[in-house]
């Protein structure tokens, strides 16, 4: 890695954080998405399933 913080690294970050927290990637993604939605007052996308909103790599 070149030391830059890039979106391309998010799947790896998700994997490592979930591993160290002892939870699944899906649970961590769901929880962080829910927190972001609350904090930024983001709407839940109605035309997609919850799994499609997460888009895990």
3-class DSSP string for the chain: CCCCCCHHHHHHHHHHHHHHHCCCHHHHHHHHHHHHHHHHCCCCCCCCCHHHHHCCC
pLDDT of residue 57: 46
Domain ranges, ordered by start, for the chain: 7-54
The Cα 24–Cα 5 span in angstroms is 23
pLDDT in tens, the chain (57 residues): 567 889 999 999 999 999 999 999 999 999 999 999 999 999 988 866 655 555 554
Contacts of 9 (CB under 8 A, 6+ apart): 1
pLDDT of residue 42: 92
- Tell whether the torsion through CA atoms of 19, 13, 52 and 31 is positive or negative: positive
pLDDT of residue 3: 78
């Amino acid at each position: 890695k070149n030391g830059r913080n890039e979106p391309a690294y998010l799947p790896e970050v998700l994997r490592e954080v979930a591993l160290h927290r002892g939870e699944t990637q899906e649970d961590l993604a769901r929880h962080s998405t829910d927190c972001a939605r609350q904090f930024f007052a983001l709407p839940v996308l109605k035309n997609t399933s919850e799994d499609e909103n997460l888009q895990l790599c």
